[in-house]
Structure 1
Amino acid sequence: MHWLYLGIAVVLEIVVAISAGNAKGFTRPLWTIATLVSGGIATYFLSLALLTFDVGVGYAIWTSTASVGIVVLGTLMFGQQLGWKKLLGIAVVIGGVVGLRLSGGA
């Protein structure tokens, strides 16, 4: 169940990033509310996952997988460029997540 909680937290963290980008410095009320609410719910699900995961491992997996998801969505939905440097960064992040997972802690 802890992986499900972590997955929900990752998806909601992606929502946080997209909402925060559209909130324009919290000058757009609906996007601001979306940012704050999704952030709160994401943190709640992360806290449930951290009942099983080591804090460092769970938090690192949460932030890194959400970061990769944001980069991929930025490319697919917002026309952002995905060059070799971003692809290399994604590969390094995925390698780090696999390494953390293999280290135990969950």
Structure 2
Amino acid sequence: MNWLFLAVAIVFEIAVAISASRAHGFTRPGWTAATLLSGGIATYFLSLALLTFDVGAGYAIWTSVAGVGIVVLGAVLFGQSLSRHKLLGIAVVIIGVAGLQLSGAA
């Protein structure tokens, strides 16, 4: 169940970033509300996941996977570039997260 909680937290963390980019400095009330609500939900589910994950590993996985998701969705939805350097960075993050998992930290 802890992986499900972490997955939900990741999805809502990605929603935070997308909503925040659309909120334009919190000048758009609907997007501002979406940012704050999704942030609360992400944090709640992260806290549930951290009942069984080591805090360092759980938080690292949460932020890393969400970061990769945000970069990929930025490219797919908003036409942002995916350069070789960004792809290399994504690969390094994935290797790092896999290393945390294989170390038994999560």
> Which bin holds the TM-score, normalised by the shorter protein?
over 0.9
Q: Over aligned residues, Cα RMSD in angstroms?
A: 0.5
Residue identity over aligned pairs, in percent, reads 75
Which TM-score applies when normalising by structure 2?
A: 0.98
Partner SS for 2:42:
helix
Give runs of aligned pairs for residues 44-55 of structure 1, distance below 5 A. Answer: 44-55=44-55
Q: CA deviation at 1:104?
A: 1.2
Shift of 1:103: 1.4
Deviations 1:53-76 (A, max 9, x none): 000000000000000000000111
Which residue number corresponds to residue 84 of structure 1? 84
Equivalent residue pairs, number: 106
In structure 1, runs of 5+ residues without a counterpart are: none
Shift of 1:102: 1.0
Segments of 5+ residues of structure 2 without an aligned counterpart are none
Separation of aligned partners in 1, 2:16 and 2:100: 24
State the Cα distance separating 1:105 from its structure 2 match: 2.4
Structure 1-normalised TM-score?
0.98
Runs of 4+ in 1 over 3 A off after TM superposition: none
